[in-house]
């Protein structure tokens, strides 16, 4: 899950009063609360002494470390990775434990929900019970709908996905003649992703409604900001102030204006069973295939659609913005990818099967996620086992602490990926071809393993990655086949990333130049 897009907010939305309110709340609120909180928690120290700390670890000096971590998280995690298998880094309100190496990562993957909980981790980081509603974690049926229903229907929905990609790019690029045109990368990708995803979620015409798209962008940001705020409150204040801080009610009301008629009608149609003629093949149907009891009510379905947008849009948009900068900056394989895509489409037509065969584009996106993931830690879990969780090396992480994997340093470890700091677009393409039949699967974009963790790994690995993978590959192929792309400032190179602790956000203000394909 992505944290903090506050800075970019104004560009996504014309209605930024809400965000201004939140920003003010955050700035003044957090200053006051922090003072009280620092004093209140300075004396609370979980039994972490046996785990080495990166940065100062004194009761007060660790707060300096926490501010360093916000700015230089990348360096601190790299330092920890080089020195230790298990270490901890200071956050403002807690320590995070970070593990690395296939042995320990495998133990984290294999752990049980009763020992290392992803639900409790989400609930603490995002305050899910308050910001999205307690039924989301209580009955997380949208996860299986995403993994099974959405993935299964991708074949049938492919033409719509592609249609929306074509339309959105045409609308947002609006190229004329053969001139280069500067396009704001992040804001444009955001629109394309949100529209394309919602073509599949709620269909036309709603997926092109400006306010509906904006409310989905804003909901994500508001939830993240609200969760941060709730998190720095002292525990006893959370249940009191939390519901008031939570943006959920407001966004449900706003989403209702767009969705309630549509969803009401769809729920009514289901009274005849789920095989009536003309039943749309979209997320609403896939939810209705599984939802039971209370979850079949209109408000609950609207809420679920918001939550899926939360999980889908910013993650995919940031991933693709990184990839677009890579495409413009690392041009060595551009022509090869174009030729491969062209050849395959000539043989198979513009189908999902064809996209599945575009191994060079697949490799490019996999390399882009390796090179710059959305986060340099992943697989966050909260220790819920009463006595703490003990790894095979003897390290015990106390209950209540968070464990993460040092994803970024793993992805840049020269023992795992030769020349790790070089963007090698066809790295995974070659690995696929060199390897046996199984390797053909092992190195594709959506495959996870102990050395490749942008989607997480194991039981909880991102259930949306099959959809995301197909959508992102189709977008990249569409760009490569129809446009020429380059950096606005070639001398300056790839626009620098923005860091917030472990979160790596592609530059929010940089442009990429587009023109109609010339050759
Ligand atoms: C490039 C885009 C995406 C990336 C990089 C990404 C990454 C991730 C990661 C790292 C996790 C946590 C895995 C773990 O902790 O073990 C996750 C979970 C999840 N993702 Fe994605 N994701 C993406 C797109 C999507 C999309 C498009 C959807 C929905 C359509 C989605 C839905 C979810 C859900 C529901 C979970 C929670 C799974 C659980 O609790 O078991 N994601 N994703
Ligand atoms: C969140 O809500 C779920 C479902 O109601 C509940 O089981 C869980 O205990 C709640 N978690 C917290 C920390 O309140
Ligand atoms: C993002 O890119 C723009 C233009 O290339 C540049 O002016 C700006 O400083 C960059 N932002 C960051 C945070 O690096």
In percent, how much of the chain has pLDDT > 70?
A: 91
pLDDT of residue 512: 98
pLDDT of residue 29: 53
What's the 511 CA to ligand 3 centre distance in angstroms?
9
pTM, two decimal places? 0.92
Nearest CA residue ID for atom 11, ligand 2: 129
* d(C-alpha 34, C-alpha 29), whole Å: 8
> At residue 370, does pLDDT exceed 50?
yes
The confidence band for 37, taking pLDDT boundaries of 50, 70 and 90, is: low
Q: Which ligand lies nearest the alpha carbon of 132?
A: 2
Q: Return the residue matching tokens 């492919």.
A: 158
User: Does 253 reside within a domain?
Assistant: no
Q: Does the annotation flag 401 for ligand binding?
A: no
User: Does 94 reside within a domain?
Assistant: yes
The confidence band for 61, taking pLDDT boundaries of 50, 70 and 90, is: confident
Comparing CA positions, the residue from 64, 43, 175 lying closest to residue 518 is 175
User: Does 60 reside within a domain?
Assistant: yes
- Least confident span in 164-178, 228-242, 315-329, 448-462: 228-242
User: Does 452 reside within a domain?
Assistant: yes
Residue whose CB lies within 8 A of the most ligand 2 atoms, among 114, 119, 123, 400, for a mutation test: 123
Q: What does the pLDDT average to over 490-505? A: 94
Q: 435 or 256: which carries more pLDDT confidence? A: 256
Does the beta carbon of 469 sit less than 6 angstroms from any atom of ligand 1? no
Q: Are 487 and 329 in contact (CB under 8 A)?
A: yes
Q: Are 172 and 192 in contact (CB under 8 A)?
A: yes
pLDDT of residue 244: 93
What's the 243 CA to ligand 2 centre distance in angstroms?
14
User: Does 134 reside within a domain?
Assistant: no
Q: Which ligand lies nearest the alpha carbon of 125?
A: 2
pLDDT of residue 4: 39
Minimum-distance ligand 2 atom for the alpha carbon of 128: 1
User: Does 331 reside within a domain?
Assistant: yes
pLDDT of residue 274: 87
Q: What does the pLDDT average to over 126-139? A: 95
User: Does 42 reside within a domain?
Assistant: yes
pLDDT of residue 284: 97
Residue whose CB lies within 8 A of the most ligand 2 atoms, among 113, 130, 138, for a mutation test: 138
The secondary structure of 336-388 as a DSSP string is HHHHHHHHHHHHH-SSHHHHHH-HHHHHHHHHHHHHS-SBSSEEEEEE-STT-
Minimum-distance ligand 3 atom for the alpha carbon of 496: 14
What's the 249 CA to ligand 2 centre distance in angstroms?
18
> At residue 103, does pLDDT exceed 90?
yes
User: 188: domain CATH number?
Assistant: 1.10.630.10
What's the 499 CA to ligand 3 centre distance in angstroms?
12
pLDDT digits (tens, 9 = 90+) for 235-260: 899 999 999 999 999 999 999 999 99
pLDDT digits (tens, 9 = 90+) for 188-209: 999 999 999 999 999 999 999 9
* d(C-alpha 372, C-alpha 497), whole Å: 9
Number of domains within the chain: 1
User: Does 266 reside within a domain?
Assistant: no
Domain residues for the domain of 194 are: 19-118+147-236+304-516
């Amino acid at each position: 899950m992505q944290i903090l897009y506050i800075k970019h907010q104004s560009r996504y939305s014309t209605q930024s009063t809400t965000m201004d309110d939140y920003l003010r709340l955050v700035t003044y609120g957090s200053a006051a609360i922090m003072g009280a909180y620092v004093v209140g928690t300075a004396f609370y120290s979980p039994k972490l002494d046996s785990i080495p700390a990166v940065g100062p670890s004194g009761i007060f000096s660790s707060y300096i470390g926490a501010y360093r971590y916000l700015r230089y998280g990348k360096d601190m995690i790299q330092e920890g990775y080089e020195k230790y298998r298990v270490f901890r880094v200071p956050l403002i309100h807690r320590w995070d434990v970070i593990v690395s190496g296939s042995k320990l990562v495998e133990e984290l993957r294999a752990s049980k929900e009763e020992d290392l909980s992803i639900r409790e981790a989400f609930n603490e980081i995002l305050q899910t019970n308050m910001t999205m509603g307690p039924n989301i974690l209580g009955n997380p049926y949208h996860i299986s709908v995403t993994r099974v229903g959405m993935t299964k229907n991708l074949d049938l929905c492919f033409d719509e996905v592609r249609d929306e990609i074509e339309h959105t790019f045409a609308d947002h690029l609006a190229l004329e003649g053969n001139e280069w045109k500067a396009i704001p990368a992040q804001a444009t990708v955001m629109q394309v992703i949100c529209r394309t995803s919602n073509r599949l979620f709620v269909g036309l015409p709603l997926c092109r409604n400006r306010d509906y798209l904006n409310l989905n962008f804003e909901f994500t940001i508001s939830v993240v900001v609200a969760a941060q705020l709730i998190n720095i409150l002292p525990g006893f204040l959370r249940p009191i102030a939390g519901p008031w801080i939570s943006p959920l009610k407001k966004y449900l009301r706003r989403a209702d204006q767009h969705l309630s008629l549509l969803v009401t009608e769809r729920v009514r149609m289901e009274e005849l069973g789920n095989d009536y003629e003309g039943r749309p093949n979209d997320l609403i149907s896939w939810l209705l295939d599984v939802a039971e009891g209370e979850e079949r009510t209109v408000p609950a379905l609207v809420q679920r659609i918001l939550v899926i947008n939360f999980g889908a849009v910013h993650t995919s948009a940031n991933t693709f913005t990184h990839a677009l900068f890579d495409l413009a900056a690392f041009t060595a394989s551009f022509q090869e990818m174009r030729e491969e895509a062209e050849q395959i489409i000539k043989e198979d037509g513009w189908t999902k099967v064809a996209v599945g065969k575009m191994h060079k584009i697949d490799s490019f996106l996999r390399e882009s996620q390796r090179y710059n993931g959305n986060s340099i830690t992943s697989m966050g879990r909260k220790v819920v086992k009463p006595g703490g969780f003990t790894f095979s090396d003897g390290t015990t992480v106390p209950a209540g602490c968070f464990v993460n994997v040092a994803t970024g340093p793993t992805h840049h470890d020269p023992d795992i990926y030769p020349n790790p700091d070089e963007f090698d677009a066809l790295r995974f393409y070659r690995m696929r071809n060199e390897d046996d039949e199984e390797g053909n699967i092992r190195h594709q974009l959506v495959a996870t393993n102990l050395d490749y963790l942008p989607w997480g790994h194991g039981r909880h690995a991102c259930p949306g990655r099959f959809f995301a993978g197909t959508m992102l590959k189709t977008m990249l192929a569409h760009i490569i086949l129809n446009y020429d792309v380059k950096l606005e400032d070639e001398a300056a190179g790839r626009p620098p990333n923005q860091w917030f602790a472990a979160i790596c956000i592609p530059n929010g203000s940089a442009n990429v130049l587009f023109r109609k394909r010339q050759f």
